[in-house]
Amino acid sequence: KAGVTQTPRYLIKTRGQQVTLSCSPISGHRSVSWYQQTPGQGLQFLFEYFSETQRNKGNFPGRFSGRQFSNSRSEMNVSTLELGDSALYLCASSLVSVDGEEGYTFGSGTRLTVV
């Protein structure tokens, strides 16, 4: 089966711009979560969507937002980019619950560089 697909793989943006990242989960997976990965902070939870509703939110400013479509695809948006937003953004999907047999299935990530 196809894995979790994230696009684009790499992105370079300027401070103050906004960016939209996309994630296509495994077919049939209804839960999509986003994580920010940096060398200093590690993996930090951004938010989770389930059946088009945000179910959980991490401790990130309102500049970070997301949404999920009826086909479970998800997008996250970061507005007014700051240098500190440079990171690998990972998307993960699961069938329903992350404590199921397969847990999360992660994508390869989108590497965002803010200059």
**Residue numbers at the binding site for another protein (CB under 8 A):** 3, 31, 33, 35, 42-45, 48, 50, 55-56, 58, 90, 92, 94, 97-99, 101-108
Residue closer to another protein (CB basis): 23 or 81? 23
Task: Tell the smallest beta-carbon distance from residue 17 to another protein (Å).
Answer: 28
Closest among 19, 69, 22 to 49, alpha carbons compared: 69
Q: Which residue has the tokens 């089966």?
A: 1
What are the structure tokens assigned to 11, written together? 């992105």
Q: How far is the CB of 39 from another protein (least distance, A)?
A: 10
Q: Least distance to another protein from the beta carbon of 99, Å?
A: 5
Nearer of residues 40 and 62 to another protein, judged by Cβ? 40
Nearer to another protein (CB atom), residue 20 or residue 106: 106
Q: Give which of 50, 24, 42 is closest to 108, Cα–Cα.
A: 24
Q: C-beta of 58: minimal distance to another protein in Å?
A: 7
Q: Which amino acid makes up residue 1? A: K
CA gap 64, 60 in Å, rounded: 7
Q: Are 76 and 25 in contact (CB under 8 A)?
A: no
